[in-house]
Amino acid sequence: MMWLLACLLVPFVTAVTCLFCRGNVRRVRIIGVSGAGILFFASVMLLNETLASGYIVIQMGSWQAPFGITLVVDLLSAAMVVITGLIAFTVAIYSVCDIEDRLIRSNYFALFHFLLMGVNGAFVTGDLFNLYVWFEVMLIASFVLITLGGGRDQLEGGVKYLVINLVSSILFLSGVGLLYGEVGTLNMADIAVKLSEAPNAFSVTSSTMLLLAAFGIKAALFPFFFWLPASYHTPRVAISALFAGLLTKVGVYALIRSYTLVFYTQFELVQDILLFLAAATMVTGVLGAAVQYEIRKILSFHIVSQIGYMIMGLAIGSALALAGAVFYTLHHIIVKTNLFLIGGLIMRKCGTGELKKIGGLYTTMPLLALLFFIPAFSLGGIPPLSGFWAKFSVIKAGLDDDHFILVTVALLVGVLTLYSMTKIWAEAFWKNAPIEQSEDLNRNVAFLQNKLGFSLVAPCVALALITVLIGLWSEPLFSLAERTSKQLLNPDAYIAAVLERTTDEPIVTLDN
């Protein structure tokens, strides 16, 4: 239980400490990176404890569920907290050089850690209203981060981001209000019990649809995805990398948690909708990426398309499909964060992310070419990288359940994803550098080499190595995903852990 509390308190204490030390930039950097490292360690220990016990439950203030605030960690929560810790640590190191002193003084690291606290809080809460509270913590911190620096692009992207997320918050509160009026509780486990008895069909269906829309906005599902490619390319690279890796996955997590626990008895009501949304999200995201020629815009649209694969696993609902969705989510967080960080290195080297204005990096920076190749072609599903196993698992689950149209869409989207990654490779690395770029590089070689320091390159190398390791030795992570899937398909065990009931833990499959 100590490690669960640590995953919330460490980022909070780190953020407050950074606020008090804001005048000393060097000290704030050390505190920010150290806090992220401690959070990563605490998250690993939390996962280890969860693997041993199955569930960790804390009733805050000794108020028993469903009356008090409940914190719950199962394998899904623990895995998401660990991956959050990993991304936090790598992005914090990258931020040492990427975020200049004036932005550090503008409380960058304090906001960074408040955002992490919100993300972890969303993963471990057992209460729908507190999930809303954690979403708002994330929204406040992320909005200030996306506008940090005060540039026109940052403010424009921030306004788009804020407005659509406020709509999501309104829908979320409306759905929660309807649900509370029907069942008289906001504890997720208790809601699941009461909805399994004799729910009012109209009220439950209304709240289900409202929460689907709210979480769909957070996850950038079709047709709510437009805010993401309009805003994620505007902030500093470290900020956009953190957002790309984590924020939409909180929405995916909320969808998985909702339809495997809170609304598991009503899953059939939304299954066909989720199947359609998965396919539409994949297609619109990848088509948007195909027509872009700016690195971060391409990568932003690919966040959307890859979310579709995760929702595909949830929509199919079988044990393999859910395991694939979990595996895909964890893999994608690592790969997408790394691609944004590497995109930042390309922009530092060439002064722009526009593919038409850069080239020749394969010969001038072969290490950078290799670093890009690994996550890019993992995203495209090339074996033996982690993306191949992620796509294989959800596609195999689709074939097993006869979702042939959805599988066909997923395969075609995979081909177009590979096309987009190949386009970046061909334009930025393979073709000859434009004359203006060559002249600029010759004038500024020493300056540019200094800008690609250890703190910028080391996180990219670490995440690339993890991607290769998962690809070559995928069994441990996939075993974790399978155990997580079994827990998700057994909501009775979660309910028993939270409400302190006895259970024989029958397996309840979503598609039956």
The string of pLDDT tens digits covering residues 441-498 is: 444 443 344 456 788 999 999 999 999 999 999 899 999 999 999 999 999 999 998 8
CB 365 within 8 A of CB 349: yes
Cis-peptide into 366, omega within 30 deg: no
What pLDDT was estimated at residue 73?
93
Q: Is the pLDDT of residue 411 over 90?
A: yes
> Distance between alpha carbon 4 and the CA centroid of its chain, in Å?
20
| Cβ-based neighbour number of residue 374 at 10 Å | 25
pLDDT, tens digit, 9 for 90 and up, residues 150-204: 777 778 888 888 888 899 999 999 999 988 888 888 899 988 888 877 656 556 7
Please give the average per-residue pLDDT across 94-115, as a whole number: 92
Residue 474 identity (one-letter amino acid):
S
What pLDDT was estimated at residue 429?
84
Q: How confident is the model at residue 509 (pLDDT cuts 50, 70, 90)?
A: very low
Q: Is the pLDDT of residue 503 over 50?
A: no
User: CA–CA separation, 360 vs 344, rounded Å?
Assistant: 17
Q: Estimate the crossing angle of helix 152-183 against helix 201-219, to 10 degrees.
A: 160
Find the angle CA(353)-CA(470)-CA(394) to the nearest 5 degrees: 85
pTM of the model as a whole: 0.90
| Cβ-based neighbour number of residue 38 at 10 Å | 17
User: CA–CA separation, 366 vs 114, rounded Å?
Assistant: 37
CB 301 within 8 A of CB 229: yes
- Helix, strand, or coil (residue 1): coil
Please give the average per-residue pLDDT across 199-213, as a whole number: 76
- Give the residue, 118 or 200, on which the prediction is more confident: 118
User: CA–CA separation, 88 vs 104, rounded Å?
Assistant: 16
Is the four-CA dihedral 301, 306, 309, 315 of positive or negative sign? negative
Name every residue whose Cβ is closer than 8 Å to that of residue 67 and which is 6 or more positions away in sequence: none
Q: Where do the H-state alpha helices sit in 125-196?
A: 128-146, 152-183, 188-195
Query: Closest Cα to residue 8, out of 65, 67, 56, 66?
Result: 56
Please give the average per-residue pLDDT across 87-99, as a whole number: 93
What pLDDT was estimated at residue 510?
44
Name every residue whose Cβ is closer than 8 Å to that of residue 459 and which is 6 or more positions away in sequence: 90, 91, 93, 94, 338, 341
